[in-house]
Structure 1
Amino acid sequence: MKGRFTAVFLTILFVLQSIFASSYAQNESGKVILIMLSRTGMEDMLEIKSIKEELESRGYVSLMNIKGSKGTSDIRSYASIGWGTRAYLKPEDIDFVTSDDENRVIFKRRTGIEPKHINNININMLKSSNESGEYGAYLGILQKELSKNGKTISVIGNSDIPEKNHSYASLLAMDENGSIESGKIDGINVQDDYMPFGMRTDYEALKEYTRDYYSKSDVLAIELGDTSRLDLYRENLNQKTYGEMQNKIYGNISDYISYVMSDLADAKDRIYIVSPYPTLLEYKNYKRLSPAFIFEGQGKGVLYSNTTRREGVIGNVDIAADVLDYFGIKSDFMVGRSIQKIERSDNTEFLGSEFEKMSTTYQLRMPVLYSYAVFEMLLWISIFICILIKGMIPKKVFSVLSEVLQLTVVMPFVLLVEPIFGATSKSPVLAIIISLTVILYIALKKLIKGNIERFMVISMMTGIGILADAATGQELIKRSIFGYDAMIGARYYGVGNEYMGILIGASLLSVAGLLQKEKIKKAAAIIMLAITIVILGFPKMGANVGGTITASFCFLFFVLRMYNVKIDFKKLVAISAFVCVVVAGMAFIDIFLIGSKSHLAGAIQSIISGGPVVIIQIMSRKLAMNASLIGGSIWSKVFIMALFIVGVLFYRPFGILKRVCNEKEFLKKGWISIIVGSFVGFAVNDSGVVSAATSISFVIISVLLLIMEKIAHENAQQGS
């Protein structure tokens, strides 16, 4: 009996052990394989047979921002991929070599550290360059975090050209001292007289090394250098020879990737295929995002991260964070976020359409905004001169100028709603903008009598439109020429500085105008401004920290002036304290309640991890950005000109603006508050001159409209 009981008991234990072991095996992570195919665009990637065929049934696709610190380059994107933060370095900062008697001595002499299997003998130069970067990237953080958690990383391959080492993938696997424990970066290329630079990757040898290091490593970074060499050599080729080389290279790569996916990788493994940088031709043609694919399991769709909050778009800084997340590792030294997968059967078609629209927005952004800003300034100057010599100007001229001035106010609203029409190329987009501007203004002119009344309605429409879009996912702002774009990568979500300035100017002027017309009570005005602050600052909506500071400061300033409270030093301190409370509240909501990890939460996390030096880096970045924009941005000229014109109009023609201010008490308080807000916005935002210019435009336009109206009224009285 006792024997039977023991047998049953052991059988149960065996079954339970088998179940738990099976469960553990199912949940256990596999390996990560990172395949780097630099200088390959999205269309090129889809021409590689094995990738194309794999994507027909599975795989997640995305476009990847390639930005590093202080601009873009191959090497900065590689480093940003490996370090999870936008990195700054130069090609001469790296010279990765396999350890031998000679370079072992060089490395130790330069660093005082024992070399490992592969070492960057220029690591001190790299550290020096990195210190001058804007974002405080932590060298070798991927290797450090993996090693700390018992995981290993190896590197294979290079993009070398004759007499130059281009072992860029080594940046992903190195530690903070530029050393790598395991890998193979030389002896992989063979001579081939009919390939770029007379050399190519030996794919049979690469397969052997891949199989060997795959068995030894948890993470394997592989650099397939032929695509990079082809792009660097392209200027020496004609169309025929380029096509022949490309076909041969893509065939070799297809065979290698098929081997990795079919013969080597386990079902639990995660395979990344990433192009750290696009081809030079695509870059010149404004397609400045690179493809990044993930193959894991049988799912099919697009990639998404909290860095961008855009389906099908990730940042290069997200790759390392996602590799760590695969192993359940979190790093406080990376700004990148883990990557999510969204199921979508039409993933490549969807991405192609999105890329076309983003490229069009990128191409039109500067010409359209520059033309708009220049036209505004020329119009303001024309009106200003006419006001100075008002006695010589016919009434009809002022009427025409007033019409054109109001037409410019419609433009921000039109640029906000233009993406609704779904145009993806330049000519249709421009046609929609022009047509919609004219049609909307004509409709408003027929419905609303009075220039200033019409201006107020346009301002309210624009403000409400921005708030509504911010509260519902920013699908319009993300695609607007007046918004931002993924290629620049300064901002991916929320309300950007252009529309932030417009929102603040439109909100204050709308509230002031409604109070002036006695359409609302003061309590309603406070509620309206409070709603604007909440939407602008809420991490899942506007997510604009600088905008929240600006709006909180100038809105409270306006409320105090609305109640005729004198603004002295103590009041300014109280306003500043209010701003701190609002920003702290938004940070608390972001970090502890919703965990959206917006810019504010990321900045706080970086400060906690990196210490006070991060605050200095953030402030230095903002100052450097504003300093560069003051000298080179058209918006700085808009801002200065608006201040100049308003300042002069207080004195010439004698007293005309003062008389307008005396008659429009609430509007005057709104103007002053907007001007205060423009200076605050300039100080606290990366490109603060942009928000300062777009907000103060609401002051100058309404001032000019009222002065022209005043002149027309006085002329009518004199005529009678």
Structure 2
Amino acid sequence: MIMVIIDRLSWSDFTNPAYPNLSSLSHRGSVGLLQTTTGGSCEAGNTYLSIGTGARATGGGAAGEAYQPQEMLKSGESAGNAFRQFTSREIPLLGVGMVTIARLRQSNAALPYPVVPGELGEMLAQGGFRVACLGNADLPGEPGRYLAAIAMNWQGLVPEGRVGREVLRSDPYFPGGWRTDYQALWHSYLELRPRTNLLVIDLGDTSRLDGLRAYIEPATFQREWQAALKREDAFLGRLLAELNPQRDLLLVVSPTPSAVARQKGDLFTPLAMVGKGVPPGELLLSPSTRRPGLVLNTDVAPTVLQFFGLTVPPTMSGRAMETAAIGQDPDSYLAQTREQILFVHNQRSPIIKTYLGYAIGVLLIALLLLLLGEQKVARRWGLPQFLISLMVFPAAALLMPLFHLWNLLPYGLVLLLVMALLTAATLGLERRRALLGFAALASFTVALVLGDALSGCFLLSHSILSYDPSGGARFYGIGNEYMGVLISATIFGAACWLSLKPRRPVLLMVALGFILVTVILGTPRWGAKFGGILTSAAVFPVTFLLFRGVRLNWRTFLLLALAFCLLPVGFAFFDFFRSASAQTHVGHNLALVLSQPVQAWNIVTRKVAMNMKLFRYTIWSRVLMAGLGGMLVLFFRPVGVMRLFIRRYPFLYSGLIGVVLTALAAFIFNDAGTVAAATAVTFGIPPLFYLLLREPSASPDLSSRDSLLG
């Protein structure tokens, strides 16, 4: 296997016909977009080390300090002596040593998940395969031997390599004065190839230019960038000509986005595989993402190990890449995918913050008017309609990918139109019969989420309110936002239908609905949301008993606790015993915990830390506090208003308790629980305020729980 690194490469560079060898890779082999998130920022020391460890690592500048033994350091010491002083080991005469290996271990030991510097090189060495590295991305006074972070073993050693000045040439016109000597690089490649199984080659010049971008005139930068890419493209052409596609595999990787791409939120770089076992014209696919064309940087190391027939260690969070045929040109498909991902990443925050700010304002105004007893003023201002608009936003945001709008102005206008239509439909049904509109809206939202999950998650994976692939947190299934919406809408919809038709068949349908939502949330093929299993296992049984009017005693509590424990464990082991390529993160984490029990504590602390961070710094927590705080106030002022609500709407009150429990459970059991908790109250607080703003005399008496219980 030959891994060629052309760093800081953009998608437009990759598909530019001016670079014929690069642009031909999508037809010679399979291509994809590489997600480059690390344990820190997207800088070279982190991105290269993440590839070498198969986990999101952090290395910084220390990951570039790899040397041949005879090279001299700034301190005047030889690299061989320094490595011996720091590690009590010797760098092989022809090898390369990461002088800062101890520092890399220490910095990654602080992460709340396992990261093993040198994991890829060590697994290959233990399997009897030889690794070498060639090239560098040095800047003036700053070593850039990051490729060794991919190729090294646990000891920080690469058995053989050429990473020094011998692969560079002086060029007075190139920024920094030194660039890659491709003739020397080619001779070294021919020398190393016969005795190497994995050869990592860093072409270097694009890294150097991007690192000095701030010091270079734009016109000069553009000229030198094009010239550097033409030289790199020519070298790639020589490698392709030498490739034996029946035996060899060429991997072209760009580990780090350019500085300009990072500013735009574009954390995806091109990736290509050509050769043995790779069909031409297809897309790369990873079990980590389940989206054709999207793979993670942590997937590269498992792919290398699979190529050599080696087992992937549980400390690697990535999965070996596969390929998928899509029936269209891969370049155009990936260009469209990248456009959609960038739109979600860049516009998600302003759109959602606008909605959440609007939600906080509407809820606070409604609360104030309720406290003042000014329900007539609220109705005159149209406040009930605004409250319903808060409830329709999740469904509207989930429908938006159907319109394929990736420009903010048309997207915003169509979103408002869809919200207006859903609000009008809900109000129309409410005027026909109280709670009918709410029941229909909740049922529509639940059906929309479940239907999309069952049919491949197209809407969920493209919605502005769902997960953000550029951030790398989630790529498939039901995310935190719609998990909270789904569970609370299910409970609220059930409460509405029970209020409208308090009959035993309806209660049976509610029970079946709770089971269906739980199964779809937890099944790896559909929802793949383990936090959703924990939340639903904690909330649905309690809510169902409240609907039945059952009092909770110690026996009931123990049965609920047993169900809560058994259900998630069953789903986790079901995922665990599936094949590694089919497992979700739940099965992978369970395997990790079984091999290293201490990782269970790390997982818990990581989730708690994420929750506390989101609660302290995001607007989601403000929405949550505004909703729950407003509801709490209404229990005391105006006097008797909640008692009237409980008497008139006993099922809705039980449902409201279920929604509040959903918010609390979602917060506790999910690593972004603040988000899930805030979206959960969407189907709790706004309808409560809506009903309390109505004239009490106009509210029907829907207290027929006794008729349901017989």
TM-score over 0.5 for the pair: yes
Residue 82 of structure 2 is aligned to residue 82 of structure 1 = no
2:403 is the alignment partner of 1:421: yes
Distance 1:213 1:491 in 2: 40
Q: What SS does structure 1 have at the residue aligned with 2:78?
A: helix
1:399-452 deviation per Cα after TM superposition (whole angstroms, max 9, x unaligned): 610011111211110110110112232222222211221223234434552564
Tell me how far 1:56 sits from its aligned partner. 6.3
TM-score (structure 2 length as normaliser): 0.92
Quote the residue 1:319 is aligned against.
300
**How far off its partner does 1:710 sit?**
4.1
Alignment counterpart, residue 151 of structure 2, candidates 170, 173, 195: 173
Contact 2:662-2:677 within 8 A present in 1 as well: yes
- Partner residue of 1:331 out of 289, 300, 312: 312
Residues 63-106 of structure 1 show CA distances to partners (whole Å, capped at 9, x for unaligned) of 11111114432221111111111112222355211113833232
Distance 1:600 1:338 in 2: 17
Name the amino acid aligned to 1:658: R
Give the aligned partner of residue 267 of structure 2.
Answer: 288
Whether the 8 Å CA contact 1:321–1:338 is kept in 2: the answer is yes
How many residue pairs get aligned? The number is 682
- Partner amino acid for 1:637? R
SS of 2:212's partner is helix
| 1:654 positional shift | 0.5
Partners of 1:628 and 1:485 in 2: CA distance: 18
CA distance in 2, matches of 1:66, 1:290: 7
Which residue of structure 1 aligns with residue 168 of structure 2? 189
- Match of 1:154, SS state, is strand
Q: 1:694 to 1:65 in 2, by over 3 A?
A: same
Query: Structure 2 CA distance, aligned partners of 1:168 and 1:568?
Result: 61
Alignment deviations for residues 135-156 of structure 1 (CA, whole Å, 9 cap, x no partner): 2112211111111211111111
Whether the 8 Å CA contact 2:606–2:671 is kept in 1: the answer is yes
Deviates more, 1:624-633 or 1:328-337: 328-337
Matching residue of 1:531: 516
Cα distance in 1 for partners of 2:575, 2:526 equals 11
Q: Indicate how the Cα distance of structure 1 residues 559 and 447 shifts in structure 2: closer, same or farther if over 3 A, else same.
A: closer
Distance 1:665 1:446, change over 3 A: closer
For residue 704 of structure 1, report the CA deviation from its aligned partner. Answer: 0.3
Equivalent residue runs for 1:239-318 within 5 Å: 239-263=218-242, 265=244, 267-296=246-275, 299-318=280-299
Instruction: State yes or no: 1:662 paired with 2:647.
Output: yes
Question: For residues 51-450 of structure 1, what are the structure 2 equivalents within 5 Å?
Answer: 51-55=21-25, 57-92=27-62, 94-100=64-70, 102-116=78-92, 117-186=95-164, 187-263=166-242, 265=244, 267-296=246-275, 299-332=280-313, 333-344=315-326, 345-391=328-374, 394-395=376-377, 397=379, 400-449=382-431, 450=433
1:25-70 CA distance string (max 9 Å, x none): xxxxxxx111111111111122362334523642211111111114
Which sits farther off after the overlay, 144-153 or 449-458?
A: 449-458
The amino acid that maps onto 2:24 is E
Deviates more, 1:231-240 or 1:212-221: 231-240
Cα distance in 1 between the residues matched to 2:148 and 2:574: 39
- Counterpart residue identity of residue 303, structure 1: L
Q: Is the 8 A contact 1:470 1:542 kept in 2?
A: yes
Does the aligned pair in 2 maintain the 1:98–1:185 contact within 8 Å?
yes
Q: Any idea what SS the aligned residue of 1:653 has?
A: coil
Deviation at 1:220, TM superposition (A): 0.8
Q: Structure 1: give runs of 5+ residues left out of the alignment.
A: 1-31, 715-720
- State the distance in 1 between where 2:253 and 2:519 align: 38
2:684 corresponds to which letter in structure 1? V
Match of 2:597 in 1: 612
Superposed displacement of residue 628, structure 1: 0.9
Letter in 2 for 1:170: A
Distance verdict in 2 for CA 1:540–1:295, change over 3 Å: same
Residue 598 of structure 1 is matched in structure 2 by 584
* Cα distance in 1, alignment partners of residues 264 and 152 from structure 2: 34
- CA–CA distance in 2 between the matches of 1:319 and 1:67? 13
Give me the whole-angstrom Cα distance separating, in 1, the residues matched to 2:307 and 2:193.
17
Aligned counterpart, 1:483: 466
Rate the CA distance shift 1:285–1:536 in 2: closer, same or farther, 3 A. Answer: same
Deviates more, 1:249-258 or 1:435-444: 435-444
Q: Give the superposition deviation at 1:711.
A: 4.8
Amino acid at match of 1:159: A
User: Does the aligned pair in 2 maintain the 1:70–1:134 contact within 8 Å?
Assistant: no
Q: CA deviation at 1:239?
A: 3.0
Identity of aligned residues (%): 27
* Paired residue secondary structure (2:623): helix
Shift of 1:584: 2.1
* C-alpha contact (below 8 Å) 2:435/2:496 kept by paired residues: no
| Number of the residue aligned with 2:495 | 512
Question: Does the residue aligned with 1:115 lie in a helix, a strand or coil?
Answer: coil
Tell me, yes or no, if structure 1 residue 542 matches structure 2 residue 527: yes
Normalising by structure 1, we get a TM-score of 0.91
Could you tell me which runs of 5 or more consecutive residues in structure 2 were left unpaired when the two chains were aligned.
71-76, 700-710
Helix, strand or coil at the partner of 2:285: strand
The letter for the 2-side match of 1:141 is: E
**Distance in structure 2 (CA, Å) of the matches to 1:524 and 1:56:** 51
Of residues 563, 583, 586, the one that matches 2:571 is 586
Q: Equivalents in 2 of 1:268, 1:145: separation in Å?
A: 21
| 2:519 partner letter | V
Shift of 1:398: 5.3
Q: Deviations over 1:105-126 (max 9, x none)?
A: 3222222233332111111111
Q: Which amino acid aligns with 2:261?
A: E
d(CA) in 1 for partners of 2:123, 2:236: 28
- Write the distance in 1 (CA, Å) between the matches of 2:435 and 2:102: 63
Contact 1:452-1:706 within 8 A present in 2 as well: no
Distance 1:398 1:322 in 2: 63
Deviations 1:556-592 (A, max 9, x none): 1112222333335554443232122211221233233
Render the CA deviation track for 1:2-28: whole Å, top value 9, x for unaligned.
xxxxxxxxxxxxxxxxxxxxxxxxxxx
Deviations 1:332-355 (A, max 9, x none): 231111111113450001100111
Map Cα deviations across residues 615-650 of structure 1 (whole Å, 9 max, x no partner): 121111111111111110111111112121011101
Q: Is the 8 A contact 1:81 1:316 kept in 2?
A: yes
The one-letter amino acid of 2:525's match is: K
Secondary structure (helix, strand or coil) at the match of 2:128 reads: coil
Q: 1:45 touches 1:51 (CA, 8 Å); kept in 2?
A: no
- Relative distance call for 1:212 and 1:608 in structure 2 (3 A) is farther
Amino acid at match of 2:304: V
2:247 is paired with a residue of what secondary structure? coil
| Whole-Å separation in 2 of the counterparts to 1:51 and 1:231 | 22
Compute the RMSD of aligned alpha carbons: 2.0
